[in-house]
Chain A
Amino acid sequence: MITAGMDLGAQTVKAVILKDNVVLSRARCFSGFDPAQAANQALDDALKMANLKLPDIHYSVATGSNMELAPQAHSTVSMLNADAKAGTHLFPKARTVIDVGAEEARAVKIDDKGAMLDFVVNERCAAGAGTFIEAMARALEVNLEEMGQLSLKAERASSINASCVIFGESDVVSLIHQQESKAEIARAIFDALAERVASMIHVLGVNLDIVLVGGLAKDVGFVTSLSRKLSVKLLVPDYPDFAGALGAALIASSRARSLQK
């Protein structure tokens, strides 16, 4: 059975195609001004890679902040449920799944059957999401992709205001004026975001099986800072940014099965 999951995020749209819960292909597009078109594009690309056509899909589910705009989706699912589903699928022992994306951060606590027990969401403030790193990288004049490696070279951490992107920028500019090394500022930036995300997890209670997904899970600087803050080795899957789409596709499978019954 072929199913599809689409994650229409603030910055990118991700599509995943599954055959009997095994990943056939993944594709991604920038959301731009028209997330619906981006979703079509991502789904098309993923279908091509899997040598399939749209009618081959038995069922598709959309998630993400623009999920209601997905033109080809049969239904939608909340990001929290998609994250919980993907987290337990990838790591059956997972009890907490953290998803840090461009504009939102979420943490879900799950029981041993994968059912959601509790959650925390930050969707109102850019200081708790990927936008923070983007804005700070701009202020530091460092490519976003290089920030992570750069931060690992720091011997100690400076401190910056983590409560607001706008104030964080001023702090970064002051540190540059004080001739602090870029590596140390980069580490301060990741530490600041990690602090915010860690405080979300503390609300749920820290445990040993924490899965980190979302675009930020690809950044070694952020993963290192967050592991240090939580004193836990985080479980990071391959393709962590596709976790939402994977979760949606897995939910598509179970919805398709229950329709067949």
Chain B
Amino acid sequence: MIGMRPPIGEKIDFWRWSEYHRVQPGMNWTSKDIITAGVDVGSVSSKASIMITGQAYSWSITRTGSNSPDSARKALDLALDETGLRVSDLKYIVGTGYGRVNVPMANKAVTEIACHARGANYIWGPSVRTVLDVGGQDIKAIRIDETGRVKSFLMNDKCAAGTGRGMEVFADLLKIPIEEIGETSLKVAEEPPPVSCTCVAFAKTEAIGLLRKGWSKEKVLAAYTRAMAMRMANLVHSLGLEKELVITGGQSKNIGIVTRIETALGVKCLPMPNWKDNGLDPMVAGAFGASLFAKSLYEKTQKNNGG
């Protein structure tokens, strides 16, 4: 399913990343368990996570459509697939992400900053202090404490430059499947200078200009990826880098970005979980965090009801 090429001859959308869902093997649920869900409706992808008493049980990633409620439903349905669970079995649901107020089945909405912080703490453990979340249309740098609570954050929400959308445009333009873009960008003998402008709307002009100069696809991609990584590294610098650093969001899967951020900041990120083989997927960090908030919020209502 992952990284598979479509048959030759069909129209290929090179930007298209794999939508998928996963059920963790060896886990079971009973109606007595605290089953909660988190739904993260991002600008480009929607994610849902289902947890059994605070442990990730299943999750999904789908493309966000033009309608947030539909995208939320689609993601949650996909996460429920093959679990035997129905929406009515979920004790509490938290919505997050840019479309969080439009998650119809959610009991509550929580900001994506808080959810990503908590999700990163869940995936990598208490040593994480800085989370860089690179999503489809924005970049956030978050400082957290050992419990996953937000201490401070910086966000680039004025401009989509250097986000996943730009990478999609490049994948299509250079005809390289999006999941191979990171590897491809590293296939250069020498790192080229970064492009001067990372505006998503100008990505096409920028690439055509460099190809016209005779640059290889790999070199063009390296120059753009480097410029993107420098934007992200600058955001982390402005916030103040404290180790350990982790990257969440779609670009955490782009080895070209991760390597260049590490170079720019002079630190190594904590290792990426093996998400292709039952490891937790850092692209789902926000939804993991949301389903953990759902558990805490559910327990609070129980306490209030009981007392």
User: Would you call A166 and B137 a contact (CB within 8 A)?
Assistant: yes
A175 close to B (CB within 8 Å): no
Cross-interface CB contact of A131 among B158, B165, B196, B201, cutoff 8 Å: B201
Question: Are A125 and B67 neighbours in the complex by a CB distance under 8 Å?
Answer: no
Least CB distance from A203 to B in Å reads: 18
Interface check B205, CB cutoff 8 A: yes
CB distance from A211 to the nearest CB of B (A): 26
Q: Say how far A157's CB is from chain B's closest CB, in angstroms.
A: 21
Task: Report if A167 contacts B (CB, 8 A).
Answer: yes
Contact of A166 among B197, B200, B205, B212 (CB under 8 A): B200
B201–A126 touching, CB < 8 Å: yes
Are A125 and B199 also in contact (CB < 8 A) when A103-B205, A170-B43 are? Answer: yes
Task: Report the separation of the CA atoms of residues A127 and B161 in the bound assembly, to the nearest whole angstrom.
Answer: 11
Q: A164 to B202, Cβ gap below 8 A?
A: no
A interface footprint on B23-40 (CB within 8 Å = 1, 0 otherwise):
000000000000000000
- Closest Cβ of chain A to B267, distance in Å, is 29
Q: Is B208 an interface residue (CB 8 A)?
A: yes
Indicate which residue in B137, B158, B199 contacts A126 across the interface (CB closer than 8 Å). B199
Q: Which residues of A contact B137 (CB under 8 A)?
A: 166-167, 170
Q: Are the CB atoms of A177 and B160 closer together than 8 Å?
A: no
B201-A163 in contact (CB<8A): no
Q: Contact: B160 with A164, CB < 8 Å? A: yes
B302 part of interface (Cβ distance < 8 Å) = no
Chain B nearest Cβ from A154, distance in angstroms:
23
Q: Is the interface of A mostly helix, strand, loop or mixed?
A: helix
Is the CB of B66 closer than 8 A to any CB of chain A?
A: yes
**Residue A160 interfacial (CB < 8 Å):** no
A173, B66: Cα distance in complex, Å: 8
In the bound assembly, the distance between CA atoms of A123 and B197 in angstroms comes to 9
Q: How many residues of B contact A (CB 8 A)?
A: 18
**B159 at the A interface (CB under 8 A):** yes
Q: How far does the alpha carbon of A163 sit from the alpha carbon of B161 in the complex, in Å?
A: 11
Least Cβ–Cβ distance between B149 and chain A, in angstroms: 29
Among residues of A, the one whose C-beta sits closest to the C-beta of B156 is: A164
Q: Using Cβ atoms and an 8 Å threshold, which residues of chain B touch A124? A: 196-197, 199, 202
Point out the residues of chain B lying under 8 angstroms from A164, CB to CB: 158-161
> Per-residue CB proximity of B137-159 to A under 8 Å, as 1/0?
10000000000000000000011
Partner of B160, one of A103, A132, A167, A173: A167
Q: Is A94 an interface residue when CB atoms closer than 8 A count as contact?
A: no
Chain B residues in 8 Å Cβ range of A103: 202, 205
Cα-based distance from A164 to B199 in the complex (angstroms) = 9
- B205 partner residues in chain A, CB cutoff 8 A: 10, 103
Residues of A within 8 A of B161 (CB): 125, 164
Mark each residue of chain A from 155 to 173: 1 if its CB lies under 8 Å from any CB of chain B, else 0.
0000000011111001001
**Minimum C-beta distance from B203 to chain A (A):** 10
Given that A10-B205, A33-B208, A164-B159 are known contacts, is A177 also in contact with B199, CB under 8 Å in the complex?
no
| Interchain CB contact under 8 A, A177 and B201 | no
A73: interface (CB < 8 Å)? no
Q: Which 9 A-B pairs have the closest CB atoms?
A: A126-B201, A166-B160, A165-B201, A163-B158, A164-B159, A124-B197, A166-B200, A164-B160, A126-B199
Q: Can you give 12 contacting A-B residue pairs, CB < 8 Å?
A: A10-B205, A33-B208, A124-B197, A125-B159, A126-B200, A127-B201, A164-B158, A165-B200, A165-B201, A166-B201, A167-B137, A173-B66
